[in-house]
Structure 1
Amino acid sequence: MVYYASKLAVSALIILAVSELAKRLPGFAALVASLPLTSLLAFIWMRVEGSNNAAIADLSGQIFWLVIPSLLLFVAFAFLLRHGVDFWLGLAISAGLTVVAYLALLPVLRKFGVQL
């Protein structure tokens, strides 16, 4: 239980640091936030828990393909906010578009032999 609490605390501290950094240095915070922190943490926790390189490599490869449709969220969200759409509505629309992009990409990947 202590181990899981430690994982949660470390992960939460990183998220807290980025959100606080964004208030003071938005450009640097954007750089830090653009790092695949969730993926990096997953790789680290997998290694600490004894996963082999093949399992971590598989996860890394799968993440690569799923990053592509997730980029739509950032483009759509920025566009909507700049055009006066309410924050929450823009976030919901952007997330919805991203889900649609994921669903559209999956059959394309399967067609080319990529299994997620």
Structure 2
Amino acid sequence: MTYYIARVLISAILIVVISEVAKRSSLAGAVIASLPVVSILAFLWIYVDTGDVQRIAELSQQIFWLVLASLVLFVTLPLLIRNDYSFLVALLLSIVLTSGGYLLLVWILKGRVT
């Protein structure tokens, strides 16, 4: 149980650090947020839990392909905000479009990526 609490705390601390840094400098916050910290933590947790490096390799490859779909959010959100959509509407539409991007990419990759 202590291990799971530590994992949650480390993950939560990273989110807070990114948001606090971004309040002071959007570029510094973006640099930290763009680092694959969540992926690295997932790799570490899987390795500690299972020692299964093949599972980590598969996850890494799948993350690579799905990052392409996540780019939809980073393109549509600023476009919508700059075109006078309110933040919440722009965020919601960006999430919907990004979800569609994920569905499309998963459909395209189905059977091609293990």
1:12 Cα offset (Å):
0.5
Query: TM-score normalised to the size of structure 2?
Result: 0.93
Q: Give me the CA root mean square deviation.
A: 1.3
Shift of 1:31: 0.5
Output the CA distance in 1 between the equivalents of 2:42 and 2:18. 18
Per-residue Cα deviation, 1:55-100 (whole angstroms, up to 9, x for no partner): 1001001111111111001100011111111111111100100111
Query: 2:36 is matched with which residue?
Result: 36
User: How far apart in 2 are the matches of 1:54 and 1:99?
Assistant: 27
**Runs of at least 5 residues in structure 1 that lack an aligned partner in the other structure:** none
2:50 match: secondary structure: coil
Paired residue type of 1:6? A
- Aligned AA (1:25): S
Q: Given residue 36 of structure 1, which amino acid in structure 2 is its aligned partner?
A: P
Alignment partner, residue 14 of structure 2 = 14
5+ long unaligned stretches in structure 2: none
Aligned AA (2:112): V
Question: Which structure 1 residue ranges, 4+ long, deviate > 6 Å from structure 2?
Answer: none
Matches within 5 A, 1:1-116: 1-110=1-110, 113-115=111-113
Question: Percentage identity across aligned positions?
Answer: 43
Q: Kindly tell me the number of residue pairs found equivalent between the two proteins.
A: 114
Between 15-24 and 50-59, the greater mean CA deviation after superposition: 50-59
Q: Distance in 2 between matches of 1:107 and 1:50?
A: 29
